[in-house]
Every structure is written in C-alpha cells, then in structure tokens.
Amino acid sequence: MLEQLKKEVYDANMQLPKLGLVTFTWGNVSGIDRDKGLFVIKPSGVPYEDLRPEDMVVVDLKGNVVEGDMNPSSDTSTHTVLYNAFPDIGGVVHTHSETAVAFASARIDIPALNTTHADTFYNDIPVSEPLTKEQVEGEYEAETGNVIVKTFADRGIDHNATPGVLVGQHGPFTWGATPQKAVYNAKVLEVVANIDYHALTLTHADIHVPQYLLDKHYYRKHGKNAYYGQDNPKSLNH
C-alpha cells in the first residue's frame, strides 16, 4: 500500500541527519495521499541507519494505523491535526534542530531580519504558547497540533506563506506541498534561526527587514509573478 509514497517519505526522513537537523532519533517526516485520505510516517524511535522504506507506517486522518508492523512516530497525532486543519499541505516535518529549539525555549518568534528569511517565510516565524498542564496530561500530541493551528488563526498568519512554527518550549514543525519541500523548509528555518541568533547578539536595534524588501524576495519565488529559477511563471522572460 502506498509504496511510492513510502519511498518518498523514507527519502525525506533520511535527509534529516544529512542536513544536520536531527540528533539520534529526534525527528520525523510524513507525507499524505489526499485522494486516499492516508498519510505515511516514520516509525517511532528507530535509528535512521536502520530505517527501510517498508518500515514506514500508513495512518488515516483519524490517526488510526492502517498498515505497518511498527508503532508510528509518537508525534503522529500532531501530524494528523495539521493535515486536517491545513488541507492543502502534502508533508510535515518535526525536528529538534538546535537554534530553532533555542528560540522555542525562549518563547521568541524567529524574526524576519534578512532576505534569506524572506525567500521562504513571509512573516516572522511564530512561536506558540507552551501547552498547559491540562493539555500535556490530556491528548498531548493532538494538543500540540491544536496549539499550532490556534497560533496561526489568532495571529492571522497564512500557513502557506509562513510554512513553519515553533511550539513554545518544544521545537519546530514545518510543512510543504511535498515531504521533500517540508524538509527544505525545516532546513531554511534552522538556517535563519541561526543567522538571527548571531545578528541579535550584535545589536539591540530593531533590524527587521523592511516590508518592500521582504515582498521583493518572497514574491520572486512565490505567486503568479515569480521569476526565480527555471520553472516559475515569469522565469523565461525575466
């Protein structure tokens, strides 16, 4: 079942250690088949070097395991909430990449300070409120997804324009059209967090990138007038 998607999700998971985004088994990637209403996710606690495509676990949009010999990721319920709340995303990533976790620990947004950020994220990358005692002692992983969705709703942020979040005192989640794009966004999030950390140690001034420069860089890569690269709408005539 979903053998091609299993291979895609496996390949995306294997990018996490290669990109320096995970320590030990602290991360996971999933990908969804919207037509079938099923997603594929990494099994829980299995070292990356031991993973095989056939180990990926198939789950439905209620969080039930449909196929697989192993337990799915402990974060499966978070992925389930995100797929239901954001019906246009195709992949989700969770890591504990170090600089992003530092911002999450401090409960500080990753601010948009430069064009590196603006190429991928249109807003400051938001940090959620930490989960309450009741949320942690209840359906913890589902509540993690709920607090992400609430953060975007409360702050009026487009989840496609800013495809990532920090869960307060926990860490980053990203998403994208595919599992591979979600991994790309996870790496960019960690890179801009690291850049921002260093920039913010050098000055106490407000160094947010101006809106006109953010717009220029974001819309070079996104939307109907994008021209970056070879395949965007206006690439050939720019």
CA distance 164 to 70: 28
Report yes or no: 204 and 117 within 8 Å, Cβ to Cβ.
no
pLDDT of res. 238 = 43
In CATH, what class is 3-221?
A: alpha beta
Residue appearing with tokens 């039930």: 64
Q: What is the pLDDT of residues 64-73, one digit of tens each?
A: 999 999 999 9
Q: What is the pLDDT of residues 85-126, one digit of tens each?
A: 999 999 999 999 999 999 999 999 999 999 999 999 999 999
Per annotation, catalytic residue among 119, 197, 219, 227: 119
Q: Is 55 a catalytic residue?
A: no
Q: Is 69 a catalytic residue?
A: no
Q: Find how far residue 71's CA is from the centre of its chain.
A: 22
Count of CB atoms situated within 10 Å of the CB of 7: 14
**Average pLDDT in the chain:** 96
Q: Where are the domains of the chain?
A: 3-221
pTM of the model: 0.96
Q: What is the pLDDT of residues 76-93, one digit of tens each?
A: 999 999 999 999 999 999
State whether residue 83 is helix, strand or coil. helix
